[in-house]
Structure 1
Amino acid sequence: MNKIYTFLCLLFVFFASSCVSNKDLTYLQGANKNENQSSIEVVPLKPYRVQVNDVLSIKLKALDQKLVEMFNSSTSGSAPNSTDALYFDGFTVNDHGNIRVPVLGEIAVLGLTLEEIRAKVEKQLLDEYFNKEADLFVLVKLAGLRYTTNGEVSSPGTKTLFQDKVTILEAIANSGDITITGNRKEVVLVRQYPHGTEIHTLDLTSVDAVKSPYYYIQPNDYIYVKPIKQKTWGFGVNGLQSVTTILSALSLVITTYLLINR
């Protein structure tokens, strides 16, 4: 009888430890439940500074559009906002931190914000090719926000979103969300900086993640979701799978024992 009790206790321990808790699956926990609306102080988003391999979209407008046709990229043969069109017709920042613009030639943009690049291009055009009467309008944008997700997500891979700001939760949602075997408490963010690569970790189950300076992703970010320990152990991720796994293992042990002692 003692052996039966011991076995049941062990079965209960395995069952409890192998199941994934609801706290491990819920995002942004910790908000005040007594209020209908919870106010969270979000960290101010700093202007993005252009890095090597970024692709920029530069559009010029003027009273006489024929004057700026040579500067504007052609997107014939593909959708204007498609990734392929922007890759081939956009302005890629080379290893020296420059972009090549028709007529203007090489322009140093590394480390500059989009607004600083716009002002720089506009000033050079006004100084060398246009006058104020041309009513020149310059628009500079990133040619999509490109990032990569890997690990325990439903749809890993590289994706491009045509938005100015994207949170890490939006990026993960666009990758099909984290699977039930993904560790939401230790999501790794690998980010490129002019001085090198840095690795940051976010706990997406805590509401404090919204206050993190890494809550908003940047171009070329790499997001990796680790597996939880239950997947490493090989147990099920819910009660039914856990019981099935344990009973299957127990049946195999009993069968083997009976065959050996027959």
Structure 2
Amino acid sequence: MVNLLAYMLKQFAFFTLFAITLVSTSCITNKDVVYLQDKGTVISDSLQIQALAKPYRVQINDILSIDVKALDKELVEIFNPTTNDIGNTQQALYFTGFTVDLHGNIEFPILGEINVLGFTVEEIEDKVKHELLQQYFKETAQIFVTVKLAGLKYTTVGEVVSKGVQVIYQDRVNIIEAIANAGDIQQTGDRTDVLIVRQYPGGQKIHHIDLTDIAAMKSEFYYIQPNDIIMVKPLKRKSLGAGETATQTLTTIASLFSVVISTYFLVKNL
């Protein structure tokens, strides 16, 4: 009996030490989930963020919404597709917008093919307006051209609440806004190393950004671009099967310890 009691005390001491160690290393803390913390990477107390995002340049398979206005509305009707029947949505723009083909061109009414690959939307506005004045209108028509991307489309995968293709109808979206639009990163997601897969003319590149560091706001990847893929990896703690909080972790350990003790007595009584 004395030997059994000594054994139990020894096991309990081991269990207590193990529990304290596991709780201190496996629980998800505020440092893991709080965005834009001051980690000493910013010198001044107040951080003034300058827009580091480069102007987006149109790529193959982008869909453009082009609107032409003039003093005489009837003159520009042919250039403006009607969306009254299907609404001004991403699906509607798929059918009525101007898709950039594999050669970087769009097929514009009257004007024919216009190369837009690598141009900003502002440059495309100037280009379309110039061609219209050259081929169709006179200066007195006072035409006005607006070019926009048909929504900022991106994809979220991994430890986010809503996985899949997302669309935001804004010209500029930062990565935190994009993630919030997808329901935010789950508790088990690694915010310190979020991956951004971005398309370039020569192929795709993977970039890394630490969203728990306020210095992320100065990164050139803080603002997302159309067709970006945002990948959030799971924390290593998740693969261990530990709980998200200390209570959950202790509950798991206690359950395991209870199973071990029950098995010990069961075997001992056989």
TM-score (norm 2): 0.91
Corresponding residue for residue 20 of structure 2: 12
Corresponding residue for residue 59 of structure 2: 51
Deviates more, 1:83-92 or 1:162-171: 83-92
CA distance in 2, matches of 1:259, 1:4: 18
Q: Is the 8 A contact 2:68 2:146 kept in 1?
A: yes
Corresponding residue for residue 4 of structure 2: none
Deviates more, 1:207-216 or 1:70-79: 70-79
> Is residue 2:164 matched to residue 1:157?
yes
Match of 1:213 among 216, 220, 234: 220
CA distance in 2, matches of 1:138, 1:63: 12
The CA deviation at 1:96 is: 1.2
Q: Select the structure that is richer in helix.
A: 2
Aligned length: 258
The CA deviation at 1:42 is: 2.8
Match of 1:64 among 72, 91, 113: 72
CA 1:40–1:236: 2 relative to 1, 3 Å: same
CA distance in 2, matches of 1:40, 1:226: 30
CA distance in 1, matches of 2:81, 2:257: 67
Deviations 1:201-245 (A, max 9, x none): 100000010000000000000001100011111111101110111
CA distance in 2, matches of 1:11, 1:47: 52
Which runs of structure 2 are paired with 1:30-179 in the superposition (5 Å)? 30=38, 38-80=46-88, 82-179=89-186
> Is residue 2:227 matched to residue 1:241?
no
AA aligned opposite 2:37: Q
CA 1:6–1:253: 2 relative to 1, 3 Å: closer
CA distance in 2, matches of 1:190, 1:158: 14
Q: Is the 8 A contact 1:43 1:212 kept in 2?
A: no
Overall identity of the aligned pairs, in %: 52
Q: Is the 8 A contact 2:151 2:168 kept in 1?
A: yes
Unaligned stretches of 5+ in structure 1? Answer: none
CA distance in 2, matches of 1:125, 1:92: 19
Q: Is the 8 A contact 2:49 2:218 kept in 1?
A: yes
The CA deviation at 1:20 is: 0.6
Q: Computing the radius of gyration over CA atoms, which structure comes out larger, 1 or 2?
A: 2
The CA deviation at 1:43 is: 4.4
Q: Is the 8 A contact 1:40 1:210 kept in 2?
A: no
CA distance in 2, matches of 1:172, 1:26: 14
AA aligned opposite 1:162: Y
Q: Is the 8 A contact 2:53 2:221 kept in 1?
A: no
Secondary structure (helix, strand or coil) at the match of 2:185 reads coil
Unaligned stretches of 5+ in structure 2? Answer: 1-8
Corresponding residue for residue 264 of structure 2: 257
Deviations 1:145-193 (A, max 9, x none): 0001111111111111110100000000001111110000010000000
CA distance in 2, matches of 1:256, 1:77: 70
Q: Is the 8 A contact 1:31 1:38 kept in 2?
A: no
Match of 1:24 among 23, 29, 32: 32
What is the Cα-based RMSD across aligned positions, in Å?
Answer: 1.6
AA aligned opposite 1:84: Q
CA 1:31–1:64: 2 relative to 1, 3 Å: farther
CA distance in 1, matches of 2:233, 2:193: 7
Q: Is the 8 A contact 1:20 1:237 kept in 2?
A: yes
